[in-house]
Structure 1
Amino acid sequence: MRSWKRLLIVIIMSLLGLAAAILALGIAFTNFIVDYWWHSELGYGEYFWLKVLYRYILSGAVTLFFFLIFFLNFWAASRFLGVDTATFAALGQREGTRYQRLVKLFQTGSLRVYTPLSLILAVAIALPFYRQWQAALLFVFGPAAGVRDPLFGNDVSFYLFAYPIFELIQFELLMASVILTLAVGLLYFLEHHLLPGRKRPWPTGAKFHMSGLVLITTLIVAWGFILDRFNLLYTDAHEPVFFGPGFIEIRYHLPLIWLAVATLVGAVLAGLAFAHWRRGLWMLIGLATLFAASLGLRHVGAITTAIDRFIVKPNPVKTERAFMKNNIDATLAAYDLGEVKIIDMTPGFPDEDVLDPELRTHLYNIPVWDPEYLDDVYQQMQGIRPFYHFSGVDTARYVINGQLSQVNLAAREVNISRLPAAAQNWENTHLRYTHGYGAVVTPASQDGAAPMRWYLRDLDLQSDVGFAVEKPDIYYGEEDLPYAIVPNRLNIVGISSFDEASSYNYTGGGGVPISSLFRRLLLALYLRDEKLFFSVNVDDKSRALFHRNIVERVKHLAPFLNLDHDPYIVLTPKRIYWIIDAYTSSDWYPASKRLTMRFNRDQEDQQLNYIRNSVKVVVDSFSGHVDFYIANPEDPIVRGYSRAFPGLFKDLGAMPPALKEQLRYPKDLFTAQMSIYARYHQTTPELFYEQAETWDFARVHDTLMKPFYFTTALEGYRSDQQSFILINPMTPVGRANLSVLAVAGTPTLGNVEPGKGYSQQIVLYRFSREVQADGPAQVSALIDQDPEIARQFALWDQKGSHVLRGRIIVLPVGRSVLYVQPVYIVSTGGTRIPELQRIILSMGNVVVMDASLESGIAKLEQRLREIRRQQPASPSTSPAPAFKPM
């Protein structure tokens, strides 16, 4: 009876195990198949198979390699085990005892014992390669960078692609060799000492086998020391003075590393000679002592402290000069700051004609609306339906009435969470409210105390300036959009769409077809939603749209790219597109200063010391199609991925002109570059060591000023026509006066040659240290002190309303700087609709406030002329360089 119960338990457990295995395989199979369908519908089916091939062929090959190493060594060891049946017979033991069977199993049981053991060990050792397959791709396909590090003379690509993989390989080989040496040694020990029978000399084959394993392990350890030389390039021991190796690392640690390599190999060879022939004991002792000394001396703090105290610190620049220069040059190259143009400026009182009519035509692109305040206006005045939402306000420039004009715009996306709770059901979420519709556009320059001007508005997409979009439906955007099923059998009314009766006639072409019951089943499993399978409103013409958040979509396609925080929309006569700036980055550029960044949708910060905006990603908001365009073909990382995945990336010259015209210099990149250049613009080691000219980002009331876009033309920066540029003011560390205006843009977008990227340029307008140039915080203090403005603020800031001062905009004009700050009034009640009330302008310590830019500029000009007339005439001097819009 008990045997039947045991058998029943065994059967039940077996069935449960089989069911669990089938379920796990089914889920893996489902994810694999649906992911392939998704890639195929985007036109990336071949790319999908390449990813699978690279990942599993590479990982499988590594696993097979380690399996063969373990299995062949175990098999060889079993051949040399010296106990056999005759030994047991001589000892009077009966053949076939459990003990004898165990011994024979280890002697002859290669397939039964060593195969699973070798496989388990191989998988455990190779596991890191499964996670590092993308880095391994660059190891195979990464091209030469054409730049060599000054210390070891290796091409930079060695550090970007090969060095991290070599470190991984060395570590895994070391683990495998140590495990193998210990395991084989244990087998021989058991055979020689514990198994029955008299002790006999070790077989010659066993001796050479163990000697070979020890020697291989030694060579792997020695290789680790050789690789450790390159790790000196990433030391931060000299921070905050400089990054990378210095005098102590190169003159003290590096020779000790080479001494460790030589003495380790010599000591092991001497030890093997002594073990086999009993010779060379004193050589073994001497080399082992030297090896221990080479390791110990690297960790004796008293020696490095003495070198630092008596050699380095008394002559810091002289001893560390070459190493500081290496750090400066490497950092500027790694962050693409090698060709920054610097224009020295001497600030002065504004000239009489500084605000002449020709100049004014270029100042009327001033972005007086802060995006965060404008977002509230869009939500309240153009949301129209409760399920529409503007995820963010973008800045762009379009030709309007024959003139390049700066605008603010935002996409009207769908957001189910804004519906009443009762309406947030499965049918509404996935079948009815499937898409947003259209966009809104307003001019960047507006007047206070006047109604908002609109270039594109409402669900009928009214426009007085020619904006029109043939297919304005937005199925893919920045919102966390759930999956959608379109077309479907619902009779949907009251939801705007290009497709008449959109639930029946979706023409976007995106998504995975649900053309069979099998597809519906797999998609229901993939999306973890049984309602998809049982719904009667899904038919064989329906398509499943998922990964609809554009950032998630791109990261799922190309996880090796880092994405900017600010995707932006582009309006074309046909459709609405999203453009995302994508970066390649690395933490392995030799001797380059490290920076901590967090990219879009990343869960944690990552360290990097190399970055390029190498890819522009275009996502069709209607169909969801994704295109990758190489913007910087000189970047070795993107070239490596392009080699690995032919057809994934397109030439930037193939981008449609309407999209190419809207490309921009990304904010995340500019912020990272300026945070580095704030110190590394001091390119001589003497200045770099002194840090007397280090900059910081400008702040107002402890709030960091963010860079902003502005459409203008500046002398020294493509002055023949207007450019869409980023402006970022910088101040000295610990001071509030203005040091530099950093300007970044893309001056050559018009005609991109095949195989070429678009040029990016940074120009710094650097103010003389001998003359005061007021910074944003100082101008903010002047505004606070103006009695007329203070009275007006007090009048507005009454019960029921609140005064908000927007960001301070810093604009170069002549030899001076124009500061512009918008003033808003917002209700303190439940409905928040900020209203632009006034615009404050400041130049040359003069502050005025008016309702419009036109009258404000006139008032400012009048005040400046009055002050100039009151000043005594100054002797003529040669004119200094000046900002001069053309």
Structure 2
Amino acid sequence: MKKKSLLRRISGYGLTIVFLLAIITPVVAFFYADVIVEVLWFQSLGLGFYFWQRLLYSYVVFGVATALFFGFFYYNFRIAVRYLRVRPLEPTRLLLRIKRRLKRAPPRNALVLNPTTTFGSASSPESRKRSLSWQWLMIGSRRLYIILSVVLAIFVAYPLYHEWEKTLLFLFAPSAGITDPVYGHDISYYLFALPLFRTILNETLFALIILLVILSAVYYLELRAVTKRHRQLPFGVRKHLSVIITLIFLVGIAELIFQRHLLLYTNDHIPLFFGPGYTEMNIILPLNMAGLVMLVLLGGSVIWYLNKKRGLPLVIVLAIFLFATIGLRYWDAIPDAVQDYVVEPDELARQEDYIRHNIEATLDAFDLEGVETRPYLISTSTIDSSEPNEISLRNIPVWDRDMLIDVYRELQELRTYYRFLNVSTDRYTIDGNYQQVFISARELDFDRLPQDSQNWVNRWFKYTHGYGAVMSPAAQIGGEPKEWFLKDIPPRSDYGLSIKEPAIYFGLQDLYDVIAPNALGEISYPGKTGAVLDDFRGGTGIPIHGLFHRAIFAIYYRDYKLFFTTAIQKDSKILIRRNVPSTIRVVTPFLELDEDPYLVVTPERLYWIVDAYTLSDKYPYAEPVNLRVKGDQSGGGQDNAMISPIQRQFNYIRNSVKIVVDAYSGDMSYYLADPEDPIARAYARMYPGLLKPMEEFPTALAPHIRYPRDLFITQMQVYAKYHQTDPAEFYGQEDRWMFPRLSRSGEEKTLLPYYVTLNLLDRTRFEHLLLAPMNPDGRENMRAIVVVSSDGDNYGRIVVYSFPTGALVHGLSQVDALIEQDSLIAQEFTLWGQGGTEVHRGKLILVLIDGIITYVQPVYLKAAHGVNIPQLVRVIVSQGGRVAMETSFEKALAALRAE
């Protein structure tokens, strides 16, 4: 009988547990489906530990901050209760005796309340009731101040929950090895410590003020409850309040100390220079120090007065002096007067050291301190006995990327559901020749399918991926058929290029989530007799075969069909987040991404390479980009503001990370490209294993690494002003540069840096370079050519070829005007325009052929109606102010030399 009874109990408990799980599990899954999917997705990428790191880091920082503030509040409330000694009524006397035995009895100098203590009249029942209520509250119970401490701690610490990464960067940050020129602190102090200290300081001040208000209210009410002879606060209470007030003054003192460091971010001298100048260092800084001294003296006098009831006049006098000092510190009239009457009459001499600090800091912050400058021996003559190198001609990018995308779309998309999103430039060895090419990925665009084909099955199981890529040379002869290094579906090449797995499951297109492999088969590419089916073999993705996973994703997508479909098989995976840039931003939101990810073709697969930056706006003395100029001084205004393609304000940047994403499987690998960057090193310490060393970068991809264009644009915006390293020259801004600008049809365009493959840095080899022509600010002639290499040991090497300031070198806009004014060219354009076609002049670029500055511009014809396929028909070449237009670059160059 006992065994049966026991079995019944066990079975009853088991049924109850099963019943509860059957109810609780769906409820939990419904409310936490997003979290479960997030965990499964990170695990599918091999980043499960990293996911829990980021999650736990935030809660650990918040938890530690909450615990510290809780301990702070709780300890002070305990002290307050000890100083509020209340002789309780009979039910609580036992508790007080226990506390006394445990040596927790209130100190002798505490306030004492008896059961007979009244508020006002002792015979008043209402007063007696209030007195007893107050006694219960203050002896009351530990629960009250525990709960109060918890609530206050969470409230005060909550802002630190959003600042958890700032906290960890401070804890993991290495030394930068560079000190600021004013206070001698390592730069890491400004990048990591100062922002966190000020956040903690604000939260601490907030906590102290809350505590002071509560304690003052409690002690005030207690004071009202005692007899008249206890009107003066006892020593213990005064000591407690004195400590809190002292802490508040210490916070104020620390803030004034930090205000000294914040002077290094002064932008009052923009657009001349950034950072503090003579006025800040000789007027504002001393006033700040005077305020700090006044605050220390005022704090001491306030504490003295609270405890001794003497020195009130001194408190008043010191308070007046403090407010006067702070008022003078923030009164604009004083620095304005010093600037007008002391600085400006002899400004260069007064500001020279501070300008030098600004120049040095800005060049270092934007990684420009190692720029090489070479004088360029001008040779604009078109007479040259030697023929240009065949390899150099092969690398002249006569095709314009913006025009080439239309050619790719018209000739190589082949099906409505494929799409070329962009064209990137690279260099490959084709038939043994190192040459520049254009390349683009053929991605899937499900929304371009006919409407009746956009059904549920096709969306989830059939149309899952793009296929292959196209590649064409940068150079071409006008009027001839387009040459392809890689084309068609499946990809084929007459130059030995091949791709073992050309499918693209992860790309730049906003792709739908899909299930692959599956029982229906995926459409791989269109074959001769119909669609060729294939199965995904990438090994990544989230398993979806099990009932639990099916249920989770059915809830996640609010799509019950995912639970009941028979197309899911045992090895089926669901592939989510297939847009490469947005996926990287989810995984590593602390990295800023370059806007131009590029495709690399290898014999095995296709890969995406994405450049990522670490940024900061806390580098001392360095001028930020994307900074709103306060006013239009010296004709500067917004035109002289430095604008970066990266859409945020910053004054420090490094291309610290390069990310490789497998276009087939979606595998992501992060590589630490700049181990000297303290921000990247801090993240590497914070997330061990996330950033791999560059020594592990895939061998097949290493030759295709390139210097990021967005970074170079930003650097050149800065260098256009800060190449003037002499303070006197910088002050005059006589040699400020800018990017060239072209005006056509009333629209002005800025000519930004572009990729070329030239033997400019080393005559014995060709390198993939970013090239930026620079004009004098406000002028159209050319002042310098700046290049940066993407290859080998020269990677990141920036060289400036500077022209003599007194010599005329035609700028791009001037050459563009020469082309427009050429009668023969204008006549031919007119004839083409009469035939129902549109003439488009491509981007005008500058290259150097055998040391001669050469300008190249492609000419395209496009049909005015119908199919719009740009055709390269002519190439315009200009040297030494002379212009020629022929079907190829070689012929145009020969025509110039024949003149």
TM-score (norm 1): 0.89
Counterpart in the other structure of 1:882: none
Alignment check: 8 A CA contact 1:340 1:764 kept: yes
Of 622, 629, 637, the residue aligned with 2:679 is: 637
Of 389, 407, 411, the residue aligned with 2:419 is: 389
Residue 576 to residue 747, structure 1, CA distance change in 2 (3 Å):
closer
Counterpart in the other structure of 1:39: 42
Is 1:483 the equivalent of 2:513?
yes
Separation in 1, partners of 2:799, 2:685: 34
Separation in 1, partners of 2:226, 2:28: 44
Residue 740 to residue 525, structure 1, CA distance change in 2 (3 Å):
farther
Residue 101 to residue 707, structure 1, CA distance change in 2 (3 Å):
farther
Measured after TM superposition, the shift of residue 100 of structure 1 is: 5.4
Separation in 1, partners of 2:542, 2:465: 17
Is 1:295 the equivalent of 2:318?
no
Secondary structure of the structure 2 residue equivalent to 1:357: coil
**Which residues in structure 2 correspond to 1:796-807 (within 5 Å)?**
796-798=832-834, 800-807=836-843
Task: Provide the aligned C-alpha RMSD in A.
Answer: 2.6
Of 405, 410, 426, the residue aligned with 1:380 is: 410
Counterpart in the other structure of 1:724: 768
Counterpart in the other structure of 2:705: 663
Is 1:50 the equivalent of 2:80?
no
Instruction: Show structure 2 runs of 5+ residues with no match.
Output: 1-23, 90-113, 629-643
Measured after TM superposition, the shift of residue 570 of structure 1 is: 0.5
Alignment check: 8 A CA contact 1:74 1:110 kept: no
**Aligned AA (1:223):** A
**Which residues in structure 2 correspond to 1:539-558 (within 5 Å)?**
539-558=569-588
Counterpart in the other structure of 1:746: 790
Counterpart in the other structure of 2:648: 606
**Aligned AA (1:744):** V
CA offset digits 1:375-425 (Å, max 9, x no partner): 111111100111100111011110011110111110000011211233223
Alignment check: 8 A CA contact 2:168 2:686 kept: yes
**Which residues in structure 2 correspond to 1:388-467 (within 5 Å)?**
388-467=418-497
Separation in 1, partners of 2:67, 2:25: 25
**Aligned AA (1:638):** A
Alignment check: 8 A CA contact 1:234 1:244 kept: yes
Counterpart in the other structure of 1:776: 812
Alignment check: 8 A CA contact 1:437 1:496 kept: no
CA offset digits 1:158-208 (Å, max 9, x no partner): 111111111111111111111111121122223323799986432332211
Of 596, 600, 604, the residue aligned with 1:570 is: 600
Residue 592 to residue 23, structure 1, CA distance change in 2 (3 Å):
farther
Separation in 2, partners of 1:123, 1:25: 26
Residue 45 to residue 584, structure 1, CA distance change in 2 (3 Å):
same
Measured after TM superposition, the shift of residue 338 of structure 1 is: 0.4
Is 1:224 the equivalent of 2:224?
no
Q: Which moved more, 1:705-714 or 1:688-697?
A: 705-714
Separation in 1, partners of 2:153, 2:860: 66
Of 73, 78, 85, the residue aligned with 2:76 is: 73
Counterpart in the other structure of 2:95: none
Measured after TM superposition, the shift of residue 817 of structure 1 is: 1.2
Counterpart in the other structure of 2:17: none
CA offset digits 1:84-109 (Å, max 9, x no partner): 65345763466999745652453134
Separation in 2, partners of 1:548, 1:763: 39
Measured after TM superposition, the shift of residue 73 of structure 1 is: 2.0
**Which residues in structure 2 correspond to 1:105-116 (within 5 Å)?**
105-116=136-147
Is 1:811 the equivalent of 2:847?
yes
Measured after TM superposition, the shift of residue 830 of structure 1 is: 4.3
Measured after TM superposition, the shift of residue 537 of structure 1 is: 2.0
Separation in 2, partners of 1:66, 1:411: 55
Residue 334 to residue 624, structure 1, CA distance change in 2 (3 Å):
same
Q: Which moved more, 1:516-525 or 1:241-250?
A: 516-525
Measured after TM superposition, the shift of residue 66 of structure 1 is: 1.4
Separation in 1, partners of 2:843, 2:873: 14
Residue 671 to residue 158, structure 1, CA distance change in 2 (3 Å):
same
Of 734, 745, 751, the residue aligned with 1:705 is: 751
Of 543, 555, 558, the residue aligned with 1:525 is: 555
Alignment check: 8 A CA contact 2:464 2:522 kept: no
Is 1:60 the equivalent of 2:96?
no
**Aligned AA (1:678):** A
Measured after TM superposition, the shift of residue 35 of structure 1 is: 2.2
Separation in 1, partners of 2:884, 2:70: 78
Residue 465 to residue 135, structure 1, CA distance change in 2 (3 Å):
same
Secondary structure of the structure 2 residue equivalent to 1:607: coil
Separation in 2, partners of 1:401, 1:483: 40
Counterpart in the other structure of 2:194: 163
Counterpart in the other structure of 1:856: 892
Counterpart in the other structure of 2:347: 316
Separation in 2, partners of 1:846, 1:221: 70
CA offset digits 1:655-703 (Å, max 9, x no partner): 1221000000100000000000000000011010100000011111120
Alignment check: 8 A CA contact 2:239 2:307 kept: no
Separation in 1, partners of 2:363, 2:646: 26
Separation in 2, partners of 1:563, 1:298: 41
Separation in 1, partners of 2:72, 2:126: 33
Separation in 2, partners of 1:629, 1:88: 76
Measured after TM superposition, the shift of residue 639 of structure 1 is: 0.8
Counterpart in the other structure of 2:309: 278
Residue 536 to residue 266, structure 1, CA distance change in 2 (3 Å):
same
Secondary structure of the structure 2 residue equivalent to 1:664: coil
Q: Which moved more, 1:527-536 or 1:229-238?
A: 527-536
Measured after TM superposition, the shift of residue 834 of structure 1 is: 1.0
Alignment check: 8 A CA contact 1:149 1:590 kept: yes
Alignment check: 8 A CA contact 1:725 1:744 kept: yes
**Aligned AA (1:77):** A
Separation in 2, partners of 1:24, 1:216: 49
**Aligned AA (1:805):** R
Measured after TM superposition, the shift of residue 24 of structure 1 is: 9.8
Counterpart in the other structure of 1:256: 287
Separation in 2, partners of 1:502, 1:617: 32
CA offset digits 1:516-564 (Å, max 9, x no partner): 2112222333445444333332233211111111011111111111100
Residue 229 to residue 474, structure 1, CA distance change in 2 (3 Å):
same
**Aligned AA (2:650):** L
Q: Which moved more, 1:283-292 or 1:162-171?
A: 283-292
Alignment check: 8 A CA contact 2:490 2:525 kept: no
Alignment check: 8 A CA contact 2:489 2:526 kept: yes
Separation in 2, partners of 1:194, 1:444: 91
Separation in 1, partners of 2:420, 2:129: 76
Separation in 1, partners of 2:874, 2:141: 86
Separation in 1, partners of 2:459, 2:149: 51
Is 1:736 the equivalent of 2:739?
no
Q: Which moved more, 1:47-56 or 1:407-416?
A: 47-56
Alignment check: 8 A CA contact 1:597 1:605 kept: no
Measured after TM superposition, the shift of residue 260 of structure 1 is: 1.3
Alignment check: 8 A CA contact 1:486 1:504 kept: no
Residue 634 to residue 87, structure 1, CA distance change in 2 (3 Å):
same
Separation in 2, partners of 1:200, 1:64: 36
Separation in 2, partners of 1:63, 1:99: 34
Measured after TM superposition, the shift of residue 70 of structure 1 is: 2.0
Q: Which moved more, 1:128-137 or 1:274-283?
A: 274-283
Secondary structure of the structure 1 residue equivalent to 2:509: coil
Secondary structure of the structure 1 residue equivalent to 2:626: strand
Counterpart in the other structure of 1:870: none
Alignment check: 8 A CA contact 1:491 1:501 kept: no
Alignment check: 8 A CA contact 1:244 1:327 kept: yes
Q: Which moved more, 1:34-43 or 1:151-160?
A: 34-43
Alignment check: 8 A CA contact 1:89 1:95 kept: no
**Aligned AA (2:787):** V
Counterpart in the other structure of 2:401: 371
Alignment check: 8 A CA contact 2:380 2:853 kept: no
